[in-house]
Amino acid sequence: MIKCIIVEDETLAQDVIKSHLQQLGRWELMGVYRNAPEAMEALRTMEVDVMFLDIRLPGMSGLNFLRSLQDPPLVVLTTAYAEYAVESYEFSVIDYLLKPISYERFSKAIDKIEDGRLFSPAAAGKELERNGDHIFVRSNSKFFKVNFSEIMYIQGMKDYLKICTPEYTLVTHQTMNELEKLLPPRQFIRVHKSYIIAISHIRSIYGNSIELGKVTIPIGINYKEAVMALVGRR
């Protein structure tokens, strides 16, 4: 199941998205929240794959809320105002839906998530294949090329992996151990049971954290020695 939340203060807009989600097969609505603090608490306490986020929220705006998140889920922005489209591009959101949201337009956003680049259903055989300086990530019958140099970090999420680059986020059905075997060890290091990072993207290491650009990654207790050895040999 793909777990999602709705962050929207208008009841009518909430009902429209809930109605659209009810027509989908693999989606589970985990909650509906009217403002950023409520949504923040939900993200702290549960695993969320996708967030449908309204831009104009009471108090903190949707974009400022998104800007405050260190490790946001996949995001589909919803708004009645087209002028925010350009500003939204800095967040690498999945889609930008203008209200009123028709099911036809909503389903196109869902297709982006389910078909191709983002979520891939379980499939027989290997999900990833390594070849030189890149890997191919398989989704259904398609393979998508990801260069090792593009990858900032990989996060494990139960049965899925989130591969994060500065330009886009790719989610695929795979385990951390399987993917770790495919990555060149001189370029990547496991720093947590849920995180593999690219050494070239490390900005700083302090305490039990690693900075990769604007993202902070935790260092697991069982991986601290390997991280410190990395620092020592550099």
Q: List, in order of start, the domains of the chain with CATH numbers.
A: 2-114 (3.40.50.2300), 128-232 (2.40.50.1020)
Q: What is the pLDDT of residues 63-87, one digit of tens each?
A: 999 989 887 888 899 998 777 665 6
Q: Which residue has the higher pLDDT, 179 or 37?
A: 37
Task: Give me the pLDDT at residue 87, please.
Answer: 63
C-alpha 10/C-alpha 210 separation (Å) is 38
Task: Give me the pLDDT at residue 25, please.
Answer: 80
Q: Which residue has the higher pLDDT, 171 or 30?
A: 30
Task: Give me the pLDDT at residue 133, please.
Answer: 80
Among residues 51, 55, 109, the alpha carbon closest in space to that of 86 is found at: 55
C-beta of residue 196 within 8 angstroms of C-beta of residue 178: no
State the average pLDDT over residues 51-60.
95
Q: What is the mean pLDDT of the chain?
A: 83
Q: What is the pLDDT of residues 177-214, one digit of tens each?
A: 878 888 888 899 999 999 999 999 999 998 899 999 88
C-alpha 5/C-alpha 64 separation (Å) is 18
Per-residue pLDDT for 140 more than 80?
A: no
Q: pTM of the full predicted structure?
A: 0.55
